[in-house]
């Protein structure tokens, strides 16, 4: 039977999920949508640049967690996920329903995963965090 205590330990598969989320975020502007993209081309370059930057940042932070676990990496992932959730409203593409849906969903997953990892690592000593992945 599954036990909630298994959630109390930061596992390496969580870091791999973070890397996968980063890749999905980078690719999200090109996900198929039923109505096509409604964002004007001039604005779309900002959307793609923002999405690419956030996706690469999340991918890189997840890789850093896999190699050398630190709490600031998880906090930075939470901030990046919240930024991705707010991006459709900041950059004015909230009318593009599918892209807004993808960015809100993927950003929410990043925030949830990073919050879980931060909770798991909150009571660990620095020496224990350095043993992560070994």
Residue 73 lies in domain = 19-30+40-130
What pLDDT is recorded for position 131? 64
Distance between CA atoms of residues 101 and 119, nearest Å: 27
Could you give the CA distance from residue 48 to residue 41 in angstroms, rounded to a whole number?
A: 10
In a domain, 104, yes or no: yes
CA distance 106 to 44: 19
b/e string for 27-46 if b means 16 or more Cβ within 10 A?
ebbeeeeeeebebeeeebee
DSSP state of 56: H
pTM for the model:
0.83
Whether 133 shows a pLDDT value over 90: the answer reads: no
Q: Tell me if 10 is assigned to some domain.
A: no
Question: What pLDDT, on a 0 to 100 scale, did the predictor assign at position 82?
Answer: 98
* Cα–Cα distance, 101 to 81 (Å, whole number): 14
For the segment 92-126, what is each residue's pLDDT rounded down to a tens digit? 888 877 888 999 999 999 999 999 988 887 776 76
Structure token pair of residue 133? 């992945």
Q: Is 126 helix (H, G, I), strand (E, B) or coil?
A: helix
**What are 28-82's pLDDT values in tens digits?**
888 776 555 555 555 678 889 999 999 999 999 999 988 877 888 899 999 999 9
Q: How many domains does the chain have?
A: 1
Closest CA to 73 of 104, 115, 108: 115
- Both structure tokens of 95: 């009318």
Q: What is the pLDDT of residue 83?
A: 97
**pLDDT of 3 over the 80 cut:** no
Yes or no: say if 80 and 50 are a contact pair by the CB < 8 Å rule. Answer: no
Residue 14 lies in a domain: no
């Amino acid at each position: 039977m599954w036990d909630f205590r298994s959630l109390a330990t930061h596992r390496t598969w969580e870091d791999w999920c973070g890397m996968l989320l980063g890749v999905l975020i980078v690719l999200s502007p090109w996900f198929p949508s039923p109505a096509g993209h409604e964002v004007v081309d001039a604005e779309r370059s900002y959307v793609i640049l923002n999405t690419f930057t956030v996706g690469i940042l999340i991918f890189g932070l997840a890789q850093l967690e896999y190699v050398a676990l630190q709490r600031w990496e998880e906090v930075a992932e939470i901030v990046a996920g919240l930024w991705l959730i707010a991006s459709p409203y900041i950059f004015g593409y909230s009318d593009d329903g599918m892209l807004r849906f993808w960015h809100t969903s993927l950003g929410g997953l990043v925030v949830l995963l990073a919050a879980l990892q931060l909770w798991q690592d909150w009571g660990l000593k620095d020496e224990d965090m350095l043993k992560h992945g070994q």
